[in-house]
Amino acid sequence: MSGILYIISAPSGSGKTTLVNELRQYVPSLEFSISFTTRPPRGSEQDGREYHFITHEQFEAMISRDEFLEYALVFGNYYGTTKSVLQQARERGNDVLLDIDVQGERQVKQKMPDAVSIFVLPPSRTELESRLRKRSLSENVHAEEVIRRRLDTARREIEKYPNYDYILINDRLEQSVDRLQAIVLGERIRRSGISPSGEEKRYLKTAETCRKSQMEEEIKVILNSFDEVGRT
């Protein structure tokens, strides 16, 4: 059962961090990979909890030493996951959850095609904009261009959904947490090769509803919500 790599990605403001925090309370033997970044901490973020915050010079030195499984330059700041995270987790018999963007997902999937990729989406552009504005207020950032840039980036990222195994539309938190838990546990059950129990069958059934192939129509509605704003 151990050794599964889960990738979770989402446009900024989709509620991914909240989902991951909830998931970690319910699923045992799942380690969260803490990425390195050169951006400054936001709000109540702490070094070593949400991210390892380092300088550009330190990050580039790690690149030169080939320490990263994946890394990307986003809005002028580096983000990356070290190779050592996976090895250390597997030595402890645990699975690993990577919180990375669409660039990082491609890098990891090319190296590890058995990884399970999950894309978290907002229910609509309107809802995403609302969440981004609330977050900007909490971060004391009032620049309109920052919100517009994140919305434009979100549209481009959502177009990458075909790269992912599962799609999770984060509309209602409790339901979304249940579905994310079902995906993670469902993959463990499926890969174990053991006949599932009644409760395990429920996880497998819920996970299947989130397969990319089952979510095409819902994704089209979300993408259209971005296009409709562009036409007004």
| Strand bridging mode 77-82 / 36-37 | antiparallel
Q: What is the pLDDT of residues 57-107, one digit of tens each?
A: 999 999 999 999 999 898 899 999 999 988 899 899 999 999 999 989 999
| Closest alpha carbon to 13 in 162, 157, 128, 164 | 128
pLDDT of residue 37: 97
Percentage with pLDDT > 70 across the chain: 95
pLDDT confidence of residue 42: 84
Q: What is the pLDDT of residue 138?
A: 64
The residues spanned by each domain of the chain are 5-33+95-231
At 227, the pLDDT band (50, 70, 90 cuts) reads: confident
Q: Residue 50's pLDDT is what?
A: 85
pLDDT of residue 43: 80
The answer, yes or no, to whether residue 2 has pLDDT greater than 80, is no
Helix (H, G, I), strand (E, B) or coil at 212: helix
User: Where residue 25 falls among pLDDT bands split at 50, 70, 90?
Assistant: very high
Fold held by 5-33+95-231:
Rossmann fold (3.40.50)
The answer to whether the beta carbons of residues 78 and 59 sit under 8 Å apart is yes
Query: For 127-178, how does the pLDDT look when each residue is reduced to its tens digit (9 = 90+)?
Result: 999 999 888 776 666 678 888 989 999 999 999 999 999 999 999 999 999 9
Predicted TM-score (pTM) of the model is 0.89
Smallest CA-to-CA distance from 71 within 86, 55, 60 is with 60
Average pLDDT over residues 187-193: 94
Average per-residue pLDDT for the chain: 92
Q: Is a pLDDT exceeding 50 seen at residue 1?
A: no
DSSP secondary structure, 76-141, as one string:
TEEEEEETHHHHHHHHTT-EEEEE--HHHHHHHHHH-TT-EEEEEE-S-HHHHHHHHHHHHHHTT-
Does residue 182 carry a pLDDT above 90?
yes
Give pLDDT, residue 230: 55
